[in-house]
Amino acid sequence: MRGRLPVSPVDVLLSAGVFAAFLPYAHRNNHFPLVVTLGALDSAALLARRRFPLPTLAVCLALSGVLAMLLRRSYPATPADLVALYSVGRYCSRGAALTVAIVTILIGFAVAAVSENIPSYDVHNISSLGWVLFAVIAGAWVRIQRTHVIGAEERAERAEREREEEARRRVTEERLRIARELHDIVGHALMSINVTSSVSARLVDRDPEAGREALRTISALSSSALGEIRGTLSLLREGAEPLKRPGLGLDDLADLVEQTRVSGVPVTLHESGFRPDVPAIVGFTVYRVVQESLTNIARHAKDVTEVTVSLSFTAGSLDVSVTNDGAMVETPLQTGTGLGIQGMRERVAATGGRLCTTALPSGGFRVHARLPLKEGS
């Protein structure tokens, strides 16, 4: 049975209509007051058909049985009976509706057989019981159609929610991607500028030429960073993804290492193995991993005497590692929970690779990433 629905204006109008349809049969009967009273009760019972379809049918069948004997008409065949049977098909389960239809037909046969005032069923009037099946089937058909409509509406609402969730997810991913790009660009540039400006402040008096060189380095670093930011924002305005049109790669690592070395970090670059054609996304990811690792070393490590950037090409993969021998002065790098580490891990995972960060037993820190060069490797 479907939910308990309140009495609606439609139910009131339907009950009134059923009573009006009954009146033409009542006025020709000698028991007019009783017939009208029973007919009114029979029609009024339909007001509960939505909430209590089975009890409503039982009441209607009982009242219409008395009316059938008083009016000497077939049973069950009053409009109230048909509406009640329709309601059983509409609001009860399929099995219950089928059972009710069969039981109602059997009751009709039995009552007609034992009552002298109700015509018995034979080959001439058996078709009138077809209205019982018709009313129940009509209600069941409406219920099935309504169930399909509700199901379609729920699927549409679910699809709309999924589209909204997908849109929110894409917006979140876009924000994270932009934040990651700007973090790497600005963080590295500001770190290098900060270190170089500190050095130039000490050199400007005793070695003016070295101070001027440091200022030229700061200018170059800031110009490079601004260029990267402009390029990234330009791609975003065009709706393109920077990761799909990267402007930096493995060939830019030498310049990155040289900039870092000028800023005071003793870094060297080593490459082993045969370098195949490296996808642009992989080369860009390697560049950002090395850039962020060097930035973290400059910010979080002290007493650094050696930093090694290693690239190792093997069959189907590229291993990149950045190792330093300094002591870590801040915990995010040691635990691998900083935003920079998280950004590197997300970048590497986006290419299907894996990143590991390790504090070395002898002191220092190592960032290692393995990136596939072929799909499925």
Hey, what are 368's tokens? 């290692």
Which phi and psi (to 5°) does residue 367 adopt?
Answer: -110, 125
Per residue in 12-55, pLDDT (tens digit) is 888 888 888 877 776 666 677 887 888 889 888 889 888 899 99
Hey, what are 185's tokens? 């660009």
Q: Which residues contact 80 (CB under 8 A, 6 or more apart)?
A: 18, 22, 42, 43, 45, 46, 60, 63, 64
Per residue in 116-131, pLDDT (tens digit) is 778 777 766 677 788 8
- pLDDT given for residue 321 in this prediction: 94
CB 84 within 8 Å of CB 46: yes
For residue 41, how many other CB atoms are within 10 A of its CB?
A: 17
CA distances from 35 to 24, 38, 64, 77, 79 (A): 11, 5, 10, 15, 15
Q: In which residue ranges of the chain is pLDDT below 70?
A: 1-6, 26-30, 123-125, 174, 178-215, 217-221, 223-247, 329-339, 375-377
Hey, what are 357's tokens? 């960060």
- pLDDT given for residue 375 in this prediction: 55
Q: Which residues pair with 301 in a beta bridge?
A: 328
- pLDDT given for residue 75 in this prediction: 80
Q: Which residues pair with 308 in a beta bridge?
A: 268, 323
Structural domains in the chain, CATH included, are 9-121 (no CATH), 250-258+265-377 (3.30.565.10)
Write the DSSP string, 165-231: HHHHHHHHHHHHHHHHHHHHHHHHHHHHHHHHHHHHHHHTTT-HHHHHHHHHHHHHHHHHHHHHHHH
Which H helix or E strand runs over 7?
Answer: none
Write the DSSP string, 36-95: HHHHHHHHHGGGGTTT-HHHHHHHHHHHHHHHHHHHT--SS-SHHHHHHHHHHHHHS-HH
CB 301 within 8 Å of CB 330: no
> Which residue has tokens 């006025």?
27
Q: Which residues contact 45 (CB under 8 A, 6 or more apart)?
A: 56, 59, 60, 63, 80, 84
Distance CA 227, CA 45 (A): 82
